[in-house]
């Protein structure tokens, strides 16, 4: 098994988010994006021009980035919104993981596996969202709204339980 090849492989959709995050920091040309990705990965991953330039084309057509007259790409407002959504999802997952990782080592491995699968599915959907029919997109949107409501309900329940536990321990220390 070639360890360099394993380390060089990245999850599907990762390069899309990485490019958006790098362009959030500053406008860059395609070549700069390749070099910056290599630098960020400490030399373990160098995306090829065959990956970067078609991906830049897709991001342009989706309105997530724009190209200036100097050939530099920059994030659009829509691109910033996508990154904000990804960051909000990440924060939500991290909050849930904080709670779930108190379970056990086995629970932690299970959680990481589930999250990896969720991220992979989400990335695949993002890469193919324009291929979905309006009806399919509407169903996906409703699914996401429903899941977000469930997460918010879970967080509210956890917060109520946390307040209740804090109140009980305060009463015990006073008594």
Which of 1-5, 37-41, 72-76 has the highest average model confidence (pLDDT)? 72-76
Instruction: Give the C-alpha separation, 127 to 125, whole Å.
Output: 5
**Per-residue model confidence as pLDDT tens digits over 10-66:** 555 678 888 999 999 999 999 999 999 989 888 888 888 998 999 999 999 999 999
Residue indicated by tokens 């360890």: 3
> Which residues have a Cβ under 8 Å from the Cβ of 77 and sit 6 or more positions away?
none
Share the mean pLDDT of the chain. 79
State the DSSP H helix or E strand holding residue 74, giving kind and residue range, or none if neither.
Answer: strand 73-75
pLDDT at 111 over 80: no
99 against 70, higher pLDDT: 70
Is 100 within 8 Å of 107 (Cβ atoms)?
yes
Structural domains in the chain, sorted by start:
3-76 (1.10.10.10), 78-174 (no CATH)
pTM of the model: 0.53
The answer for residues whose C-beta is within 8 angstroms of residue 111's C-beta and 6 or more apart is: 97, 100, 101
pLDDT tier at 108, thresholds 50, 70, 90: low
User: Which range, 35-39, 43-47, 71-75, 125-129, has the best average confidence (pLDDT)?
Assistant: 71-75
């Amino acid at each position: 098994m070639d360890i360099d090849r394993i380390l060089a492989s990245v999850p599907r959709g990762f390069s899309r988010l990485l490019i958006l995050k790098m362009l959030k920091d500053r406008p860059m040309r395609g070549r700069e994006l390749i070099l910056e990705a290599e630098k960020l990965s400490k030399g373990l991953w160098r995306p090829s021009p065959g990956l970067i330039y078609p991906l830049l084309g897709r991001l342009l057509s989706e309105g997530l980035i724009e190209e200036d007259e100097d050939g530099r790409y920059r994030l659009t407002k829509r691109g910033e919104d996508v990154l904000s959504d990804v960051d909000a999802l990440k924060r939500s997952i991290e909050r849930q993981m904080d709670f779930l990782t108190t379970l056990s080592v086995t629970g932690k491995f299970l959680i990481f596996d589930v999250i990896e699968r969720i991220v992979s599915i989400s990335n695949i959907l993002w890469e193919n969202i324009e291929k979905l029919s309006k009806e399919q997109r509407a169903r996906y949107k409703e699914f996401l709204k429903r899941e977000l409501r469930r997460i918010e309900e879970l967080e509210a329940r956890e917060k109520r339980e946390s307040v209740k536990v804090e109140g009980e321990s305060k009463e015990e220390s006073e008594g």
